[in-house]
Amino acid sequence: MKLGIVGLPNVGKSTLFNAITNAGAQSANYPFCTIEPNVGVVAVPDKRLDALAEMYKPEKYTPASIEFVDIAGLVKGASKGEGLGNKFLANIREVDAVVHVVRCFENDDIVHVDGSIDPKRDIDTINVELILSDMEVLDRRIDKTLKLMKGDKKYRTEYDFFVRVKEALDAGKPARSVECTPEEAELLGSVSLLTNKPVIYAANMSDTDFQNGSVSGNKYFNIVKEIAESEHSGVLPICAETEAEISGMEPEEKELFLSEMGLEKSGLDRLINACYDLLGLISYLTAGKPEVRAWTIKKGTKAPQAAGKIHTDFERGFIRAEVISFNDLMECGSMAAAKEKGLVRSEGKEYVMKDGDIVLFRFNV
């Protein structure tokens, strides 16, 4: 999974990126301090994997991972190449989802590129540039569909749908805000539209707003939340400075610090959970002496396709999956005990994988 961190200059993008990846991207109080996209790969925290490692003492421990890309700050006119616009648009096309950092804190020492704090204006600035870029792409698709429709009326439905999406873009709304049937969603996915990418708005607040985890008093956060809900996006309150402070701490120290702040999880953990939910992802696990490992798949994935994540031969020669839930294995204490109790199931090709399944795939090629 590849996530792009975007936002206007000086909203806390690079501070957040540094905190969650410890990659040391340059962070400074002026626009465009991030020119090349900084990339950091982060292991997905999973206590289930830790428990399996304790049980099996494996030679190799492999958690799932997420790639974060810190993308250059955007300004008005980016769709026409202003600032670092062309680079921004090229980089954002490559990510699976977007983490849009929005400034929701007051600080006279940190210059805002537009001179004041206004989350709606900031979100609109980026959305407008992405919409302008999308309109060019969609116009080409509409023209193509119109030509096809002249020879085959079955393209009429497709044409009507794309016109409806264009009307939304003309009204300043992102493509992801358009209500779609499953068939229309698949059609929309066939066009490379930037505003159709899933988005989580990371509302970057001051640490005082985070005391005891209370964010409802921040008027800027409430504005961001309302915008996110209107376009079917995610929203996450976060404090980049706090994340930076705890990024270098030992686990016990970090846990104590978060507890004192009234928080159960770090911003990174909450961001990862939000991204998994937004993208409809789950993890299944494989465990043994050679390796314990987490594998990321889409919700609704069937066993053969999940097996294909490990190797194409596993999917091609799939026979069955031997499955036990993580909780059942932990209660039994060992795989042998779980088998004695009949808790290890044999599942076939139609089995839909569940989050936390521990699996051994049987195959033959």
128 compared with 84, residue with greater pLDDT: 128
Q: What is the pLDDT of residue 34?
A: 45
Report how far residue 239's alpha carbon sits from residue 236's, in angstroms, rounded to the nearest whole number: 10
Q: What is the pLDDT of residue 245?
A: 86
pLDDT higher than 70, residue 235? yes
Residue-wise pLDDT tens digits, 286-298: 999 999 999 999 9
Nearest Cα to Cα of residue 88 among 135, 120, 132, 28:
132
| Average pLDDT of the residues in 193-207 | 92
Q: What is the pLDDT of residue 262?
A: 78
User: Quick check: helix, strand or coil at residue 319?
Assistant: strand
2-11, 84-93, 230-239 — which is least confidently predicted? 84-93
Task: Locate 150 and state its tokens.
Answer: 């002249």
| Average pLDDT of the residues in 40-48 | 87
Percent of the chain past pLDDT 90, that is, above it, reads 53
The secondary element (H helix, E strand) that includes residue 332 is helix 326-332
Backbone angles phi, psi at 201, to 5 degrees: -85, 115
Residue-wise pLDDT tens digits, 121-148: 999 988 888 898 899 899 999 999 998 8
Residue-wise pLDDT tens digits, 49-61: 999 999 999 999 9
pLDDT band at 247 (very low <50, low <70, confident <90, very high): confident
pLDDT higher than 60, residue 213? no
Residue-wise pLDDT tens digits, 218-229: 899 999 999 999
Q: What is the pLDDT of residue 74?
A: 62
31 compared with 183, residue with greater pLDDT: 183
pTM confidence score: 0.83
Task: Locate 128 and state its tokens.
Answer: 């407008």
